């Protein structure tokens, strides 16, 4: 067993603006199996991928969290609708196209492996990290759209990753900050959270193990470090034979455990993602091997699973798309075409509308007009003949409230703060009639004491979705989607 073989188990992060390329070159010399990229411009990402791959003696897998297309992270690439927007449409064609665009632009950047799709279920409105990253709460819908998304990725030469096993949706803790606990019974997991993983077990290139303790599987360890979860359930019961990668080991759910990487490998993981110190993890793996805790055959099997992914990529690696594939007209047109099918009215209240000449007060909680995120929405309403002014409470103005709430790693929160909720409810109470346009989490519409006249969900803040929302409100377009989760008290 060589030190390089052990190093191939490690996939460090490379964060543009913070990472040192010379340090990354040292990791390549050590023999790491790949890198997970965060941020950067298109030129920076492509050049870093090219130079690191050229230095490596073995094929590097360059990965990234491009759940909503490369533009989610990379300046100059296309950002695409959230999973929940696609879930609202119910369209396999849109899911497949999202995967295909993501693959083409990722390959143009030199990224081989997309850590998507998320197949966690949107089963808790207070979940601070899943939310619109999920297709919805229904495991059948989730599996169907995830299959289509993966087929789109694979058809254009990129690898996918189904995450976060065994399902993060029924928790209320952000694993970037602490260790979530999933209290469902095994029957409950099998009936709901595990169903997408079971459906995708034969198709998935890789599965990401989540940092959450599923009490029905293992009370003593998170799933990412649990042999019962990764080997007993995922490998043996669900018959998954592909590569297992951990979620990032620098997340606080497991980062305090210095042996987390070794435990994850012994549990059944093949690749150890984003350790805080890759060199220290390599030393830990070497000690575990010398102590007999890790066997050469287990390392060889894990490396063989990496090599199987490299072979799958090989027909595409010789001819990456040019950089002008990024934000090309066809990819940009997708968002405009998809938006009407994805927008969804709050159940029971689809008849709200503005007419040309109406005076409407626009409002974003605790946000001055100079910082409005809904400028495209407001501009389109004005273009369509609606007179939009900053909302003035207490004078009977009709109200359009734009809410931009989305999951943010390490934030520990989602939806509205208590202060935001109070000012929103006061605005609704003082308005003649009101609509909330949710350009992110639909769960902001639940649990309000003072209800709006209507709610329109866009599930993301993309410009084309803001424009479509304005058109729906003036009856120039139809919202074709259905909210794919239970919102709560309406």
Confidence of residue 489 (pLDDT cuts 50, 70, 90): low
Partners of 111 in the beta sheet? none
Question: What would the two tokens of residue 222 be?
Answer: 């998170």
Confidence of residue 409 (pLDDT cuts 50, 70, 90): low
Main-chain dihedrals φ then ψ at residue 64, nearest 5 degrees: -160, 155
User: Which residue is catalytic, options 164, 168, 176, 282?
Assistant: 176
Partners of 37 in the beta sheet? 14, 64
Q: Give yes or no for a contact between 234 and 244, defined as CB atoms under 8 angstroms apart.
A: yes
What is the rounded CA–CA span in Å between residue 83 and residue 106? 18
Strands 162-165 and 61-64 turn out to be unpaired
Which pLDDT value is given to residue 406? 76
Half-sphere exposure in the Cβ direction for 115 (13 Å, CA):
26
Summarize the confidence of residues 142-165 as an average pLDDT.
Answer: 97
Residue range 6-21, pLDDT digits in tens: 999 999 999 999 999 9
Residue 20, exposed/middle/buried by CB under 10 A (0-12, 13-18, 19+)?
exposed
Residue range 158-174, pLDDT digits in tens: 999 999 999 988 887 76
Delimit the domains of the chain by residue range.
3-325, 343-473
Summarize the confidence of residues 467-483 as an average pLDDT.
Answer: 97
What is the rounded CA–CA span in Å between residue 466 and residue 436? 13
What count of other Cβ atoms lies within 10 Å of the Cβ of residue 366? 12
43/489: higher pLDDT: 43
User: Which residue is catalytic, options 247, 282, 331, 464?
Assistant: 247
Main-chain dihedrals φ then ψ at residue 32, nearest 5 degrees: -55, 155
Structural Rg of the chain based on CA atoms: 23
From the centroid of its chain, how far is CA 149? 13
Strands, E assignment, 264-339: 272-273
Partners of 38 in the beta sheet? 15
What is the rounded CA–CA span in Å between residue 97 and residue 479? 20
Residue range 288-318, pLDDT digits in tens: 999 999 999 999 999 999 999 999 998 888 7
Confidence of residue 490 (pLDDT cuts 50, 70, 90): low
174 is catalytic: no
Arithmetic mean of pLDDT over the chain: 93
Confidence of residue 411 (pLDDT cuts 50, 70, 90): very low
Range 343-473: architecture per CATH: 3-Layer(aba) Sandwich (3.40)
Going from the C-alpha of 430 to that of each of 248, 365, 426, 452, the distances in angstroms are 46, 14, 6, 11
Going from the C-alpha of 180 to that of each of 168, 194, 251, 390, 490, the distances in angstroms are 8, 17, 12, 41, 28
Q: Give yes or no for a contact between 361 and 324, defined as CB atoms under 8 angstroms apart.
A: no
176 is catalytic: yes
Which pLDDT value is given to residue 165? 97
Going from the C-alpha of 468 to that of each of 294, 361, 372, the distances in angstroms are 55, 19, 18
Confidence of residue 274 (pLDDT cuts 50, 70, 90): very high
Q: Which residue has the tokens 């991928």?
A: 49
Lowest-confidence region among 69-83, 271-285, 424-438: 424-438
Q: Give yes or no for a contact between 77 and 42, defined as CB atoms under 8 angstroms apart.
A: yes
| CATH number assigned to the domain with residue range 3-325, chosen from the 4 options 3.20.20.300, 3.40.50.1100, 3.40.50.2300, 3.40.50.720 | 3.20.20.300
């Amino acid at each position: 067993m060589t030190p390089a073989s052990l190093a191939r188990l490690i996939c460090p992060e490379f964060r543009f603006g913070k990472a040192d390329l010379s340090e990354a070159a040292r990791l390549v010399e050590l023999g790491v199996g790949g890198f997970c990229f965060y941020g950067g411009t298109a030129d920076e990402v492509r050049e870093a991928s090219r130079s690191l791959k050229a230095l490596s003696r073995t094929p590097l897998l360059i990965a990234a969290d491009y759940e909503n297309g490369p533009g989610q992270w990379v300046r100059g690439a296309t950002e695409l609708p959230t999973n929940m927007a696609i879930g609202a449409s119910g369209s396999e064609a849109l899911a497949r196209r999202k995967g295909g665009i993501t693959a083409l632009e990722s390959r143009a950047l030199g990224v081989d492996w997309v850590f998507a799709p998320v197949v966690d279920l949107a089963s808790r409105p207070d979940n601070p990290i899943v939310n619109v990253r999920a297709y919805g709460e229904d495991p059948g819908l989730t599996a169907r759209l995830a299959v289509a998304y993966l087929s789109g990725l694979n058809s254009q030469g990129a690898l996918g990753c189904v995450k976060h096993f065994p399902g993060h949706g029924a928790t209320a803790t952000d694993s970037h900050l602490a260790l979530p606990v999933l209290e469902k019974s095994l029957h409950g997991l099998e009936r709901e959270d595990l169903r997408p993983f079971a459906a995708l077990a034969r198709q998935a290139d890789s599965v990401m193990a989540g940092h959450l303790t599923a009490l029905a599987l293992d009370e003593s360890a998170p799933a990412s470090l649990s042999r019962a979860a990764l080997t007993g359930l995922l490998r043996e019961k669900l018959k998954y034979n592909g590569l297992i990668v951990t979620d990032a080991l620098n997340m606080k759910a497991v980062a305090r455990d210095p042996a987390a990487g070794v435990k994850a490998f012994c549990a059944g993981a093949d690749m150890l993602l984003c350790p805080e110190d890759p060199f220290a993890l390599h030393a830990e793996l070497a000690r575990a091997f010398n102590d007999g805790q890790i066997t050469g055959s287990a390392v060889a099997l894990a490396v063989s699973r990496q090599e199987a992914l490299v072979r799958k990529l090989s027909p595409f690696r010789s001819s990456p798309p040019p950089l002008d594939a990024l934000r090309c007209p066809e990819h940009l047109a997708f968002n405009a075409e998809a938006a009407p099918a994805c927008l969804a009215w709050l159940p029971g209240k689809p008849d709200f509308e503005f007419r040309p000449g109406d005076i409407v007060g626009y409002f974003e909680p605790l946000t001055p007009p100079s910082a409005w995120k809904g400028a495209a929405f407001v501009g389109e309403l004005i273009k369509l003949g609606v007179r939009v002014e900053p909302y003035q409470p207490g004078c009977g103005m009709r109200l359009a409230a734009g809410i931009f709430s989305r999951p943010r790693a390490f934030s520990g929160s989602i939806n509205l703060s208590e202060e935001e909720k109070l000012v929103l409810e006061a605005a609704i109470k003082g308005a003649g009639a009101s609509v909330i346009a949710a350009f992110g989490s639909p769960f902001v519409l639940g649990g309000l004491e003072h209800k709006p006249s209507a709610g329109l969900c866009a599930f993301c803040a993309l410009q084309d979705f803001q424009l479509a929302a304005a058109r729906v409100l003036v009856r120039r377009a139809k919202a074709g989607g259905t909210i794919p989760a239970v919102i709560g008290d309406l």
